[in-house]
Structure 1
């Protein structure tokens, strides 16, 4: 355990991080909690995690927006539960670290919590969940991707509605807009996310890491530069000895008469 973040390792290459109650009366996310999350992310990656699932043990809540006590104290130069750097460390590791990240959203999420979820590679949400960016209601703004990253996920029109009204989207609506990979019944987010994690962790590690890098870097590039970057990463994978051995093994199976359905997906 790292602070109030519980670490489980359900199978080789997969880590489950479950965020507990940080002590805020409104179940908002304290700076101390994101410090613990950042440390837990570093710990499991150093220990070999290739896929990380993020969940919550707080009934009705995933990661909510930043603790207002902490925000006010930081702005006024007073002592907060942490220095705030955990938000940025967590965000960087989730979005650009070596491990694939899956948000198992098993409760409402808002503000900075939502922004950490938008930074994940994949999102699985339970049917009762609501997503919101309520910063405008309290006179603030989305500071770590609630506008720019959400706009890329679901488009400018609906993103504008979300950030300008502060009102929530349902999990089903988010799924229909392409911002969520799967909507599952209440209580099933972690199970579904771990199933997805198992599939990803079963693929060659170098290829998973390469595709994670490709996806992340493509966010900052225009199409021409993105395609060139795809080529650079892809060429390094084709030349990787482990990749070459895997390709030969699959080639033998296809040559022996297996179909792609049999060789790749059965």
Structure 2
């Protein structure tokens, strides 16, 4: 009797040289997010957060698509109580609170929940034909995983309102001009460029990387004076690190620094 091949998991993780790549692979639904996929992404990111060998996490999609949205077939019968009981927003909470650098590598579609996944990341690299949007209004709802709030902070009220009220998508070059993404790569090159950025970051002093992420995350939603105080405190505290001594000494000695994260 021939054994039935094991089903390919819809989320996979690879690790190498301080970088982890989390890949969403559900081609029959253009990587749409259902509860299983969201749970697997959350589990993967939580596991990578606990892995001290991982410095940067790259989130991407297989098959030339990032995430075309949240699975409407699964959502159509949901109630408010279902959302609470099944923790449908948990993956977005995990990404928002991840202390490691997150880079989204986008090809094809990043719509609805896919756009919100990307907006949880610290940087977004997109192929030049990638499309971003929040089309929830077209199926009777609205963004519910940070889309509305992150968009107004990234691109301003007026452009964010247009995207949310029309459901229209924008291509990567326009998203870049809006300030919605980090940079545009040639079609099919988003993952390679994201990995190159990740490699650069792994060579930076870990304490400074973490401090920058913390200060940016906390500072963007508080008064400027408070944000400046947070920045100054983090800046001063880095002068108590071995990495600061190594970085400055290496600069003066014209050699490459060797950072140890302490």
TM more than 0.5: yes
1:144 — aligned with what? 145
CA contact (8 A) 1:50 1:98 kept: no
Contact kept, 8 Å, 1:28 with 1:66, in 2: the verdict is yes
Partner of 1:54: 59
Q: Which runs of 5+ in 2 are unaligned?
A: 1-7, 258-262
State which drifts further: 69-78 or 39-48.
69-78
RMSD over equivalenced CA pairs, Å = 2.4
CA–CA distance in 2 between the matches of 1:197 and 1:84?
33
Residues 226-254 of structure 1: per-residue CA shift (max 9 Å, x gap): 1011112222222123322322332333x
Contact 1:35 1:85 in 2 (8 A): no
Give the match's secondary structure for 2:253. Answer: helix
User: Could you tell me which residue of structure 2 aligns to residue 133 of structure 1?
Assistant: 134
Structure 2 partner of 1:232: 233
Q: Does 1:38 align with 2:42?
A: yes
Q: Specify the alignment match of 1:4 in structure 2.
A: 10
Q: Is the 8 A contact 1:3 1:36 kept in 2?
A: no
Does residue 163 of structure 1 match 2:170?
no
- What whole-Å deviation, never above 9, does each CA across 1:125-148 have from its counterpart, x for those lacking one? 011111110111111111122111
Distance in 1, matches of 2:45 and 2:248, equals 32
> TM-score, normalised to structure 2's length?
0.87
TM score, norm. by length of structure 1: 0.85
* In 1: Cα distance, 2:77 partner to 2:233 partner: 46
**How many residues of Structure 1 are paired with residues of Structure 2 in the alignment?**
249
The whole-number CA distance in structure 1 between the counterparts of 2:224 and 2:27 is 42
Instruction: Using the TM superposition, give the Cα deviation of residue 173 of structure 1 relative to its aligned residue in structure 2, in angstroms.
Output: 0.3
Q: How does 1:49-198 map to 2 (within 5 A)?
A: 49-57=54-62, 59-75=63-79, 84-85=86-87, 87-88=89-90, 90-198=91-199
Listed one character per residue, the Cα deviations across residues 165-222 of structure 1 (whole Å, up to 9, x for unaligned) are 0010111100111111111111111000000000011101111111111111112211
Give the whole-Å Cα distance in 2 for the aligned partners of 1:164 and 1:93.
27
The CA distance in 2 between the partners of 1:70 and 1:215, in whole Å, is 35
Structure-1 separation of matches of 2:178 and 2:226:
27
- Mapped contact 2:32–2:68 kept (Cα < 8 A): yes
